[in-house]
Amino acid sequence: MRSFKLIVLFVAISGMVLGVISCQGLQTLTGPKATLEISPAKIFLSPALIKKPVTFKGKGFNPEEMITIEMVLPPKVKMKGVEEGADVGVALATADKKGNFSVAMKPMATLNWFFQVGWTPLLKPNFKEARPIPPGDYKINATGLDSDRIATSILTIVPPPKKK
């Protein structure tokens, strides 16, 4: 009789734990749809991006949740220090109490990931060693670290304008 009670207790506790886990997953599925806006959505690589960086704005995340913003590298796009097929973290944000965020790319991220500059021994960017990423459409994901909500948008890098 005692073993029967233990089995019933084990089944009941397991059911409660699974119920809580599935409710949390359901909350993620039924929560607000996360969105991501990139400004400007179309850029060409120039030093002006250091002073006026790409900005990411999102909504629909949990209040005060940390959010990673990552660039998905297309096949055959090589990036120094990044394994093929891996995404590149370009920014990190924290949502406000309403689940919204706004963050700009930091100069170091712009130099490392867009321009792929080399660095001098005095930690100054060496543009002679730069290998800018090629023009194209780059998928950007903003992922909530608590909710697992993902918002996606496209950043288009165009060739620089021709000099006259």
160 vs 49, 50, 84, 95, CA distance in Å?
13, 16, 26, 34
Same domain, yes or no, for 107 and 53?
yes
- DSSP 3-state assignment of 13? helix
- Range from 44-48, 92-96, 131-135 that averages highest in pLDDT: 92-96
- Point out which residues pair with 151 in neighbouring strands: 142
Per-residue pLDDT, 27: 47
Same domain, yes or no, for 36 and 22?
no
Q: Please give the structure tokens belonging to residue 79.
A: 């990036």
> Can you give the CATH number for the domain in which 138 is found?
2.60.40.230
Same domain, yes or no, for 90 and 69?
yes
What total number of domains does the chain contain?
2
Do residues 89 and 106 make contact, with C-beta atoms less than 8 angstroms apart? Answer: no
Domain region containing 56? 32-157
Same domain, yes or no, for 65 and 86?
yes
Structure confidence at residue 42 as a pLDDT band (50, 70, 90): very high
